[in-house]
Structures are given as structure tokens and as C-alpha cells.
Amino acid sequence: MYKLTKYENCVIRTTDNVCIPFDEANTDYQQFKKDIQNGVELMDSTGTVMTQEQITTFLSTLP
């Protein structure tokens, strides 16, 4: 599971609380994109689970 932060450049992987930058060369970021496309839960910065539609919109903003 992942959670967005108040900053727009990274996401928290909640299994180990690391902060993953939105850098295409970062392999954790590559895995994050695969995971949420495969249905792994993504929360916004307030902790609310995002809908598939919201995730699709969010994905379109990523590098």
C-alpha cells in the first residue's frame, strides 16, 4: 500500500515507511507504478483510499 504526501514529488510505501521519489530511474518508483496499476491501494495525503478513477487521473500526471 502507498500513501501520497503533502509534497508532490514522492510517495510513501507504507510497508516500510520509505519515501519514494517520482524519478523514472528509481526502481522503487517503477515498482510503485506497476503496483498501483495492478490494484495495490493508494491513499491521498489525508489517508483516504483513492478510487480507481482518481488513481487513473493521478497516474497521468506522473513522469
Partner 1 sequence: MLTQVTSGMTDTNAQYYGFKSRIINGAMNISQGANGASVTPTVAGSYATNYAVDRFNTFATVASKYTIQQTPSATETGYATRVGAGFKNYLAVTSSSSYSVASGDYFLISQSIEGFNTADLVFGTSSAKTVTLSFWAYSSLTGTFGGSLCNSALNRSYPFSYSIPVANTWTQISITIAGDTSGTWVGATNGAGLIVFFNLGSGTSQSTTAGAWASGFYSAPTGAVSVVGTSGATFYLTGVQLEKGTQATSFDYRPYGTELSLCQRYYQLMQGINGSGENSTNVTMSLSYKTEMRATPTIGETSVAKISENGADKTQSSIAISTPSATTRGALINMGNFTGITQYRPYFWNDNSGSPWAITLSAEL
User: What DSSP element (H or E) covers 19?
Assistant: strand 18-21
Query: For the window 3-42, what string marks contact with partner 1 as x by the rule CB under 8 A?
Result: --xxx-xx-xx-xxxxxxx-x-xxxxx-x-----------
The CA distances from residue 50 to 27, 32, 34, 43, 62, in Å, are 23, 15, 16, 5, 16
- 10 versus 55: smaller Cβ distance to partner 1: 10
27 vs 46, beta carbon nearer partner 1: 27
User: What is the contact surface with partner 1 in residues (CB under 8 A)?
Assistant: 5-7, 9-10, 12-13, 15-21, 23, 25-29, 31
